[in-house]
């Protein structure tokens, strides 16, 4: 048939020529046309489900990994839940339905399936001591149950027999509650099982040391030895002789004589800590205290850098550089140099850590009012407020994050005052400063966390009414202050931000235990006990955020991690259980199945 593109008379002639074609040709062409139309109609009427089963053509940029068959809790308010996640080159490229992932699934795509499970952002610990916890693993651990003097002595005797190559017997993990009524240990007890070698054991909270007579003798500590600044030697009230307990800075009088661990033990300690944290689904952390001095016997900073350089670290790590109370503002220059030396790649040494007080039980925490069992004594700040204010202001101006250990309400107030001072001088910054532990807060200071944009980093597993609190803490603070023990919900309701930091090895670092405790205020292994200050319980959503996105904020990682969104790094934790489908008391029963770091599996539970 002629193509009739022309207008007017020429087009009419063209059409006429077509009409004048023989009838059989016109009929044949009509039949062909009808057949084509019928074929198109049949294709259009095909069921949608049948069309959907046709395998899609994978894109040229297929995912390396697709996670499916588990509920995905994203912590992205625009898309709180999903069915599947796709990852390429260590980055999340899609979050959505299982069908959405079909076009991203190629022949080389690995599939991770966990029916009935749950996918979360990788957990982050905003206050942890992994390196020293790893070292403790290879020492003589007294972190045993039940926590009794008899068990401690049996373990110490065993270590003395099996660690024949050790010059000192060193360990930790004992509980103050084993030494009623004041938590002060006795050197004579250790002498009975380790008489000839020096022995030094640190308490589970890390604020008290228990030494035998040989260790005290080597350190040259006598009745005439004065208490060091920010420390106390526990003494016989009659003779003044040391009885075996050493508080806070007094621990260093003995610690300096302990031989440093060999390089092989340091490396083994770091590997142990990393593997352990990976098993718990942790992919980022803040090392809570690293000594800056080049002669640090533990060589912590160098060990971190060596692991980062070798590719063994597999953990996004913020390092808190320890503030030296024996020095003043002049140390800021050294802190800046350490930041430059130990930052890069997976390491960020842009945080400075202060200890502002001790702990309540041996009366080393700083309180606003007198101790209930020690009238006339409030405890002391370990850094004078004037120095703290100036130090925080200068560090804030220099771009550091400031991280402060606070237990007593006076320490909390002094720390908040320092942040207010820095803010008044420098204006608001992106320091993301945070206070660790926050055991007691005066009600007048609750709202200041939000006002000053200071995060409260809680060791949530401490917020249970165990014998430690009832036998040692309550008698020292009295019932009125006791009401404000770990006020997690109060700070949240006042608009503040909370994050979780386990303080391992003081506490078990499993984030699921912390989440359950924050939701229930009951110890995970003691389900029959009453909730401790139940008004301070928080929701599951809030607790998960504290262990993921909020901790990522503290770690300056929330732009890359902490939620499951396209463009963020594939640091993910896969659980065998959907936490939203179990009773709160069963949260800690959930198990980590897989931990992904940058899209790579760093832990996989054995079938």
Which pLDDT tens digit goes with each residue over 118-135? 999 999 999 999 999 999
Evaluate if residue 168 carries a pLDDT over 70.
yes
Which pLDDT tens digit goes with each residue over 484-528? 999 999 999 999 999 999 999 999 999 999 999 999 999 998 888
May I ask the CATH architecture of the domain 264-561? Alpha-Beta Barrel (3.20)
**Would you give the distance in Å from CA 45 to the centre of its chain?**
56
May I ask the CATH architecture of the domain 139-255? Roll (3.10)
Which pLDDT tens digit goes with each residue over 230-272? 999 999 999 999 999 999 999 999 999 999 999 999 999 999 9
pLDDT at residue 528 in the model: 80
Distance between CA atoms of 533 and 211, rounded to whole angstroms?
36
Which pLDDT tens digit goes with each residue over 565-586? 999 999 999 999 999 999 999 9
3-class SS letters over 273-296: HHHHHHHCCEEEEEEEEECCCCCC
Distance between CA atoms of 101 and 59, rounded to whole angstroms?
11
pLDDT at residue 607 in the model: 85
Domain 139-255 and domain 264-561, same fold? Reply is no
pLDDT at residue 73 in the model: 98
Omega of the bond prior to 218 within 30 degrees of 0, cis? no
Which pLDDT tens digit goes with each residue over 414-425? 999 999 999 999
The pLDDT of 60-72, averaged and rounded, is 94
Domain segments of the chain as ranges: 8-52, 55-121+563-607, 139-255, 264-561
* pTM exceeds 0.85, yes or no: yes
Burial 125-138 (b: 16+ CB within 10 A, else e): bbbbbbbbbbbbbb
Classify residue 317 as exposed, middle or buried by CB count within 10 Å of its CB (0-12, 13-18, 19+): buried
Residue 201: φ, ψ to 5°: -125, 130
pLDDT at residue 60 in the model: 61
pLDDT at residue 34 in the model: 38
Which pLDDT tens digit goes with each residue over 323-341? 999 999 999 999 999 999 9
Could you tell me what percent of the chain has a pLDDT over 70?
90
Evaluate if residue 309 carries a pLDDT over 50.
yes
Say which range, 37-46, 191-200, 347-356, 477-486, has the weakest mean pLDDT: 37-46
Enumerate the H helices of 452-597 as residue ranges: 467, 474-482, 488-493, 511-520, 540-547, 549-554
Q: Chain-wide mean pLDDT for the chain?
A: 91
Say which range, 18-27, 362-371, 442-451, has the weakest mean pLDDT: 18-27
May I ask the CATH architecture of the domain 55-121+563-607? Roll (2.30)
pLDDT at residue 53 in the model: 29
pLDDT at residue 508 in the model: 93
Evaluate if residue 43 carries a pLDDT over 50.
no
Higher local confidence (pLDDT), 40 or 535: 535
pLDDT at residue 408 in the model: 98
3-class SS letters over 129-164: CHHHHHHHHCCEECCCCCCCHHHHHHHHHHHHHHCC
């Amino acid at each position: 048939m002629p193509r009739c593109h022309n207008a007017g008379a020429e087009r009419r002639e063209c059409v006429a020529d077509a009409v004048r074609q023989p009838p059989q040709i016109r009929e044949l062409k009509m039949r062909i046309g009808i057949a084509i139309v019928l074929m198109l109609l049949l294709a259009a009427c095909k069921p949608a489900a049948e069309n959907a089963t046709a395998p899609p053509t994978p894109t040229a940029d297929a995912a390396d990994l697709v996670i499916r068959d588990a509920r995905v809790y994203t912590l992205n308010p625009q898309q709180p839940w999903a069915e599947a996640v796709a990852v390429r080159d260590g980055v999340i490229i899609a979050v959505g339905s299982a069908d959405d992932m079909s076009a991203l699934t190629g022949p080389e795509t690995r599939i991770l399936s966990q029916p009935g499970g749950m996918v979360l952002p990788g957990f982050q610990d905003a206050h942890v001591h992994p390196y020293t916890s790893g070292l403790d693993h290879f020492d003589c651990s007294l972190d045993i149950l039940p926590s009794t003097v008899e068990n401690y002595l049996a373990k110490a005797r065993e270590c003395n027999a099996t660690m024949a190559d050790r010059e000192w017997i060193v360990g930790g993990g004992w509980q103050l509650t084993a030494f009623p009524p004041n938590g002060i240990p006795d050197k004579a007890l250790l002498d009975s099982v380790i008489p000839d070698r020096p022995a030094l054991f640190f308490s589970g909270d890390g604020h008290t040391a228990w030494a035998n007579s040989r260790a005290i003798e080597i350190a040259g500590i006598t009745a005439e030895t004065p208490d060091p600044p920010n420390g106390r030697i526990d003494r016989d009230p009659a003779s003044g002789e040391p009885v075996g307990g050493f508080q806070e800075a007094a621990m260093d009088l003995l610690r300096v004589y302990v031989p440093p661990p060999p390089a092989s033990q340091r490396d083994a300690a770091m590997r142990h800590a990393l593997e352990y944290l990976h098993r718990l689904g942790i992919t980022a952390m803040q090392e809570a205290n690293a000594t800056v001095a080049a002669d640090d016997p533990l060589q912590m900073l160098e060990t971190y850098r060596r692991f980062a350089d070798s590719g063994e670290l597999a953990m996004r790590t913020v390092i808190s550089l320890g503030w030296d109370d024996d020095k003043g503002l002049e140390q800021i220059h050294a802190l800046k140099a350490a930041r430059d030396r130990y930052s890069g790649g997976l390491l960020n040494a842009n945080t400075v850590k202060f200890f502002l007080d001790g702990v309540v039980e041996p009366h080393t925490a700083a309180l606003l009012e007198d101790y209930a069992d020690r009238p006339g004594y409030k405890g002391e700040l370990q850094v004078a407020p004037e120095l703290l204010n100036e130090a925080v202001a200068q560090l804030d101006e220099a771009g550091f994050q400031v991280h402060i250990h606070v237990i007593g309400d006076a320490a909390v107030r002094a720390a908040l005052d320092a942040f207010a001072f820095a803010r008044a001088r420098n204006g608001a910054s992106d320091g993301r400063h945070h206070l660790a532990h926050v055991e007691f807060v005066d009600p007048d200071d609750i709202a200041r966390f939000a006002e000053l944009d200071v995060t409260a980093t809680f060791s949530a597993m401490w917020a249970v009414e165990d014998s430690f609190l009832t036998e040692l803490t309550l008698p020292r603070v009295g019932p009125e202050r006791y009401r404000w023990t770990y006020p997690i919900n109060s700070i949240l309701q006042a608009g503040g931000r909370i994050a979780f930091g386990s303080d391992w090895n003081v506490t078990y670092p499993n984030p699921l235990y912390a989440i359950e405790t924050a939701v229930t205020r009951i110890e995970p292994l003691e389900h029959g006990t009453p909730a401790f200050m139940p008004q301070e319980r928080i929701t599951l959503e809030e607790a998960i955020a504290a262990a993921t996105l909020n901790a990522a904020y503290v770690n300056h990682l929330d732009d890359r991690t902490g939620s499951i969104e396209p463009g963020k790094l594939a640091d993910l934790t896969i659980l065998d259980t959907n936490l939203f489908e179990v009773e709160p008391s069963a949260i800690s029963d959930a198990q980590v199945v897989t931990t992904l770091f940058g899209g790579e599996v760093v832990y996989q539970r054995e079938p």
